[in-house]
Amino acid sequence: QIIFVSATPGPYEYEHSTVVAEQVIRPTGIVDPPIQVKPIKGQIDSLVGEINSVVADGNRVLVTTLTKKMAEDLTDYLKDVGIKVNYLHSDIQTIERMKIIRDLRLGTFDVLVGINLLREGLDIPEVALVAILDADKEGFLRSETSLIQTVGRAARNVSSRVIMYADVITDSMNRAITETNRRRRIQVEFNKEHNITPKTIVKPVYDVIEATKVVGGKGRYNVGNADRMKKDDIKEMISRLEKEMKGAAKELEFERAAELRDIIFELKLKHGI
């Protein structure tokens, strides 16, 4: 009667399931990333060195912290040492958030610092390092499920890896690392057996400001100018965005569809539609 679909099923799903079908093989052949645990002492200096190494290869870095204050301080420090960095926080609205992610992909900056990096839209092929600061501080953002999901942000690039900064290995860390390594072994063996060479995901970088083409291809609606538009024009824009969203879903571009859904929701909420 019911099918649960989840990358990280929990006790509820297992308790209410009689059969579990596991799908850990990716069409790209990419395997789950290797995880390294490093001590918290000197974690910032270590992080700077790791960032410089990754950026030198033309890749990007995601860094997750536990608090807004730490994220802000880290962002300021990285800027001071010459690293191109930006900070993603919950107060940033959907359209601006998507612009930040787009700029990261384009290389306008190389490092994105955030507290909760589990939301949609952060499946970024250019990311070759995910750094988890204070990984041993038990809580929602450092639970087994959250750690596995955060590690998954590194599963889009063949060169990607994860560093957990921690002084002790918590139960959540241990379970997340064990599960990731289990999946990785299955994936590596499958690739070897079928002679598959992993390939980094290739996907276009959409311009989230010029969100959708006008019918006939004569121009684009500029979502960034919505504040200066008449309500009827905004409604027309929303209608076209909805058509593009459905088209993206039909083409199985679910991330793009989710981005458009968020833009539509924000436009409706902001303009009382």
Q: Looking at the whole model, is its pTM more than 0.85?
A: no
What's the CA gap between 123 and 120, in Å, rounded?
8
CATH of the domain at 103: 3.40.50.300
Q: What are the tens digits of pLDDT across the range 118-155?
A: 654 567 899 999 999 999 998 888 999 899 989 999 99
Q: How many CB atoms lie within 10 A of CB 53?
A: 13
Q: What are the tens digits of pLDDT across the range 184-229?
A: 999 999 999 999 999 998 777 765 444 443 333 333 445 555 666 7
For residue 70, give the nearest of 29, 114, 11, 22 by alpha carbon: 114
Average pLDDT of span 41-48? 96
Provide the pLDDT for residue 256.
78
Residue range of the domain that includes 32: 25-194
**Residue 237 is assigned to a structural domain of this protein:** yes
- Chain mean position to CA 10: 21
**Residue 199 is assigned to a structural domain of this protein:** no
**Residue 11 is assigned to a structural domain of this protein:** no
Q: What are the tens digits of pLDDT across the range 50-88?
A: 999 999 999 999 999 998 899 999 999 999 999 999 998
What's the CA gap between 7 and 96, in Å, rounded?
27
**How many domains would you assign to the chain?**
2
**Residue 158 is assigned to a structural domain of this protein:** yes
For residue 108, give the nearest of 85, 92, 130 by alpha carbon: 85
- Same domain for 49 and 182, yes or no, is yes
- Same domain for 172 and 232, yes or no, is no
Q: In what order do the strands lie in the sheet with 161-165?
A: 35-38, 161-165, 127-132, 60-64, 111-114, 85-88
pLDDT above 70 coverage of the chain, percent: 89
With vertex at residue 180, the alpha carbon angle to CA 256 and CA 49, rounded to the nearest 5 degrees, is: 80
Provide the pLDDT for residue 56.
97
- Same domain for 39 and 174, yes or no, is yes
Provide the pLDDT for residue 210.
44
